[in-house]
Amino acid sequence: MTVSTLPLNDGHQVPWIAFGTGTALFGKDAETAIRLAIDNGFTHLDGAQVYGNEDTLGDGVVASGKPRSELYLTTKLGKLQPGATPKSALQESLKKMKVDYVDLYLIHQASNHVGQLKEIWKGMEEAQRAGLTKSIGVSNFTADNLKTILEVATILPAVNQVEAHPYVWKALQPNLAIHDQYKIVTSSYGGLSPLFRGKGGPLDSVVEQIRARLEKTRGATVSDGQVLNKWLQQKGVLVVTTSSKAERIREYLYTQNVPELTPEEIALIDTTGGKLHQRYFRDNWPSES
């Protein structure tokens, strides 16, 4: 199965869905999970220095036997040690991952670099110019964080990875306006949180209604998760997800084969999601008034 891609503002393409090694795999051996993901069709693998498992992510890639050229690897810059730079930190990550380059390198948290964002962004550009990463971007950046680095950027951030689902979509509008202006791809983690962490919310009945319609149209099973992932995909969002189950991994990938939501269904999810503001990863985002 060929995974469809999204265009980045630097001319590269990114697979629209990624297998994440945070949350459930945080600080754990990721080799088996990575093997499972690759064996079942994932090509985009999303890691981070702070996850503490870049070495076993790399072990999984090696064990899979998949050529490096057929995979898309992301990692993220954590807090810098004294004397380190984004470039030197990435060189350490590459050693752990046993690869010569990553495809995407993100600043994980603006809060790790208070008062230094402009300097850090210049360091990210240096890492890209050195050929250590094809694309650079950010994660958990507010609109204000983005404006700060855009003041000095000679290379635009290609991606901003944030918590994105219908219950925060309204609150993300200032971000999304900047993303649209600079063609920055919105990447989502926690996209299925309304189904798992927010059960009993206003979206439940809407997702069920749309799921039933899609299933009838498709003539095959459609899951609640595919409804929300399809909503994200149709908005041009890069989805980061994870699972330890092969059937769930395939279900996520097969979202691209599910019939499209109608404009009315997308609008219904938007408006229903807007009735409840709920973040499930509060520590990653500045407090909201």
Buried/exposed code over 114-124 (b: 16+ C-beta within 10 A; e: otherwise): eeebeebbbbb
Q: Are 90 and 99 in contact (CB under 8 A)?
A: no
Residues whose CB falls within 8 Å of the CB of residue 69, separated by 6 or more in sequence, listed in order: none
C-alpha torsion sign, points 25, 231, 72, 177 = negative
Asked if pLDDT for residue 289 goes beyond 60, the answer is no
Q: Which whole number is the average pLDDT over 108-132? A: 97
Domains of the chain by start residue, with CATH = 13-192+237-245 (3.20.20.100)
CA–CA separation, 177 vs 183, rounded Å? Answer: 10
Length of the chain: 289
Q: Each residue of 74-109: b (16+ CB within 10 Å) or e?
A: bbbbbebeeeebbbebbeebbebbebebbbbbbbbb
How many whole angstroms separate alpha carbon 216 and alpha carbon 232?
Answer: 21
**pLDDT digit string (tens) for 53-104?**
999 999 999 999 999 999 999 999 999 999 999 999 999 999 999 999 999 9
Residue with tokens 């609640």: 224
Q: How far apart are CA 186 and CA 162, in angstroms?
A: 7
pLDDT in tens, 206-232: 999 999 999 999 999 999 999 999 999
Binding residues: 108
Within 10 angstroms of residue 204's Cβ, the number of other Cβ atoms is 15
User: What is the rounded distance in angstroms from the CA atom of residue 240 to the CA atom of residue 189?
Assistant: 5
Q: What is the mean pLDDT of the chain?
A: 96
Per the annotation, where are the binding residues for substrate?
Answer: 108
In a 3-state reduction of DSSP, which class is residue 110?
A: helix
How far CA 289 is from CA of 23, 170, 171, 286, in Å, comes to 26, 15, 12, 10
In the chain, DSSP assigns E strands to 5-7, 13-15, 17-20, 44-46, 72-77, 102-107, 133-139, 159-163, 185-189, 238-241
Q: Where are the beta strands (DSSP E) in 146-222?
A: 159-163, 185-189
Please identify which of the residues 51, 105, 167, 252 carries the catalytic annotation: 51
Residue type, 223: S
Cα 119 from Cα 117, distance rounded (Å): 5
The helix, strand and coil proportions of the chain, stated in percent and rounded to the nearest 5, come to 45, 15, 40
189 is catalytic: no
pLDDT digits (tens, 9 = 90+) for 9-63: 999 999 999 999 988 888 999 999 999 999 999 999 999 999 999 999 999 999 9
Residues 83-97 pLDDT 10s: 999 999 999 999 999
**Mean pLDDT of all residues in 100-125:** 97
**With helix as H, strand as E and coil as C, how does 49-113 read?**
HHHCCHHHHHHHHHHHCCCHHHCEEEEEECCCCCCCCHHHHHHHHHHHHCCCCEEEEEECCHHHH
Confirm if 147 and 118 have CB atoms less than 8 A apart: no
Of the pLDDT bands very low, low, confident and very high (cuts 50, 70, 90), residue 287 is: low
pLDDT band with cut points at 50, 70 and 90 for residue 285? confident
